[in-house]
Amino acid sequence: MASWPTHLCLLLLCLVLLAGEASPQTAPPLSVDSADRWVRPWCQPKCGNVSIPYPFGIDSGCFRPGFQIYCNGDDTPYLDLGGNIEVVGIQLLEGTLVVNHYIARDCRNPNGSSSENNVPSINIIDLQNFKFSHRWNSFVAVGCNTVGYIWSHRESTFWTGCLSLCTSASIVPNDTCSGIGCCIAPIPMDLRNFSLLVTLVEDEYYPSYYSFAPCSYAFLADVGKLHFDLSNLTENRTTWKKAPVTLDWAIMNQTCEEAKVNHDFACVSPNSYCVNSTNGPGYLCNCSQGFQGNPYLNDSNGCSDINECSADISPCVKRCHNREGSYSCSCPWYMYGDGRRDGSGCRSILRILYLSLGVGLSLFFLIAIVSWLYWIYKKRKLGELKQHFFEKNGGSLRPDIRLFSSEELEAASDNYNQSRILGEGGTGTVYRGVLPDQNVIAIKKAKISNDEAEVQQFINEVEVLSRINHRNVVKLLGCCLETQVPMLVYEFVPNGTLAHHVHGEGRRGSLSLEARLRISSEVAGALSYLHSAASTPVIHRDVKTTNILLDHNLTAKVSDFGASRLVPLDQNGLVSLIRGTFGYLDPEYFQTGEFTDKSDVYSFGVVLVELLTGKKPVAKMQAVKNLATLFMECVNSGRLVEILEERVVDEGTPELLEAAAELAMRCLSMNSNDRPLMREVAMELEALTRWTTIHPWGNVNVEEGDSLLSKIGSSSPSTVLHDSVNSSIEPMVPLEIVR
């Protein structure tokens, strides 16, 4: 059977091993910097073998308040914290301080009586700038049938402890400290004071442990710095009085942000920075990257540049250039690399010249041959692709229009230069082009898309326009079918869109009433032609002022037939997904999905209202967002003059404006059966246009106008319109036109 000293060794081994369990980190090393000179001038740099860097100090004026170190006659540094606590070492940059701290003990004689030199409890007063490190320290209790306690006196009081039991040396486990022979407990952050208490638990049935473990201990310690000896527990049981403890120190009770505004901010050295303490309130100082020294001093001992180039082993292979806070490496001109030992270093460039030359020539010839073969391949593939697009876009079915090559259109548009853009839409961009014969054209280039519906929309526009020949419909001159989406070539209409002339900035009131009626008559005539006179009827489906172009003479040209559809002669309409522009959309089409020629009549009615009012179909400034609804409310309530544009009111007579408003109201009827046909609309507008030409009402005053109206009698605009077209509408509220 093993002797009891052997069992004591097992118990002590358990305590030593608790360092690995309690804190996996290694203990902070003692400072090895040149701390001897990190003091204020004329101050004592050491006490014994312990360096005392500022803000610590020994003599008056050599330390920051709260950081005084005392040095006794035998050159032992200590802190006066209600008792002399020996200082073992100060780590300036780590913010730690190692001291030897007292141990609470309770030893028994072999007969079980208490030893006279017992210290069963210890009280530690508040520390000012120091806290017991929760990273390195742990509470430890050692012994058999031992209970150890630790608690704090502060407001945030904590109380903890552990129990260590062993009835015989044989049950003490190896390589662990789990409560049998020794136990351990963590401590909290921000611990500035504590009390210790250790006591032996009386056990009359198992008194034998006095013979192999007569003492019980409780202490706070940096377990990585404990060094046990068997004599601590046997021959000189009462001489083991202290254990190493690591303190966290900081400039207390302020964060970096709070301290920077104070006059006594501690980080005074240039090239230093402040970091908050990791153990409760407080902060520390450190030197910036590339600097070393004491960040608490504002002199030559403060943070100074590290000359990396003066090191015994330079970080550079060849040339080292020290800079403020950093360094750089370079190579001679005949070498290449980053010049760093931990990088690519410096390598001779001469040895790779011949290899580079040979490889370069080989690559040159290889690239030349590959490029030539690739050029031939691309040219062949481009020809095949053009032919594919040509056939896909139905080129063989359209011999009646001019087919442009992609090269011709690129040259005409200066390779689609941004300065040539006439307008942009959701599906494409229109460019101004000039052919070699100096004829100006408009090129509609689609945005590249994988959506077959968009491709079909361009093909559909070619299909529609190739069947139409009307002076008020923009003329399709040709197309290019060699691209993924066909490009369309139109006659150039130079005067912009009708929307620009009605709503453009600074353009309000630029069109006379006569011009407005004439333009609306021309648009109505074009739509009437599409609905009735074309070889196959066409429904435009997107009639709006932005799709009406004006030439030099302000002659209207209807454009953009991408959404249009050819209607078989035996059908009145078609069903499709809702397409169109909000504000112009036929409500009946929106509800049923069936569009007819009456859908175009509704959209034209909105265009006519735009011309009369000068307002946009949808605008946030309007009381109601839909212009058609707002117009009908004003007409039905006898407030037509309130919504008409000022120039229109000035130039029109009450009868003329009433006739135009009446026509617009019929076009905007919610029931498509109540709307007139487009040819009827065209005839009525043509009559109104002729009447304004023969009788320029804007040149007479109210009395003359009233006299003239009384003379023409049945030849008034309303009479002419109702005589020329046999159409009926619901009774309207009388219009009150006030000059």
Structure confidence by residue, pLDDT tens digits, 389-442: 566 655 554 556 788 888 999 999 999 999 999 888 766 789 999 999 999 999
What are the tens digits of pLDDT across the range 26-64?
333 333 345 566 888 889 999 989 999 999 999 888 999
Q: What distance, in Å, lies between the first and last C-alpha atoms of the chain?
A: 129
Identify whether the C-beta of residue 217 lies closer than 8 Å to the C-beta of residue 240.
yes
Contacts 24+ apart (CB under 8 A), 419-422: none
Cα separation, 652 vs 654, whole angstroms = 7
Q: Are 78 and 84 within 8 A, CB to CB?
A: yes
Q: What is the pTM of this model?
A: 0.46
Q: In degrees rounded to 5, what are phi and psi of residue 63?
A: -140, 160
DSSP 619: -
pLDDT for 296:
94
Q: What is the pLDDT of residues 676-698, one digit of tens each?
A: 999 999 999 999 988 776 665 44
Three-class secondary structure of residue 17 per DSSP: helix
Contact 424, 418 (CB under 8 A): no
Upper half-sphere CA count for residue 186 (Cβ side, 13 Å): 10
Identify the pLDDT of residue 225. Answer: 82
pLDDT in tens, 287-323: 999 899 999 999 888 999 998 888 778 899 989 999 8
Interatomic CA distance for residues 235 and 373, integer angstroms: 97
8 Å CB contact between 172 and 11 = yes
80 is catalytic: no
Predicted confidence at residue 602, as pLDDT, reads 95
- Domain 393-491 fold is Phosphorylase Kinase; domain 1 (3.30.200)
Nearest Cα neighbor of 663 from 589, 617, 608 is 608
Question: What residues does each domain of the chain span?
Answer: 4-28+96-249, 31-93, 256-296, 352-388, 393-491, 498-724
Strand partners, 122: 196
Q: How far apart are CA 64 and CA 54, in angstroms?
A: 8
The pLDDT value recorded for residue 439 is 92
pLDDT in tens, 340-360: 998 888 988 877 777 888 888
498-724 CATH pick, 3.30.230.10, 3.10.20.590, 1.10.220.70, 1.10.510.10? 1.10.510.10
719 vs 369, residue with greater confidence: 369
Residues for the chain: how many in total?
739
Q: What DSSP assignment string belongs to 188-237? A: -SSB--EEEEEEEPP-SS-GGGGGT--EEEEEEEEGGG----GGGTTTTT
The catalytic position among 222, 248, 542, 597 is 542
Q: Which residue has the tokens 């020794």?
A: 182
Query: Half-sphere exposure of 340 toward its Cβ, with a 13 Å CA cutoff?
Result: 7
Q: Rounded distance, CA 639 to CA 677, Å?
A: 27
More confident residue, 47 or 229: 47
- In terms of Cβ atoms closer than 10 Å to its own Cβ (0-12, 13-18, 19+), residue 604 is buried
What pLDDT sits at residue 55? 93
Cβ(482)–Cβ(390) below 8 Å: yes
Question: Which is higher by pLDDT, 626 or 622?
Answer: 626
As to burial, measured by CB atoms within 10 angstroms (0-12 exposed, 13-18 middle, 19+ buried), residue 73 is exposed
Q: In this predicted model, what pLDDT tens digit does every residue of 135-183 receive, in sequence order?
A: 999 998 888 788 999 998 765 678 999 988 877 666 666 666 777 778 8
Report whether pLDDT(93) > 90.
no
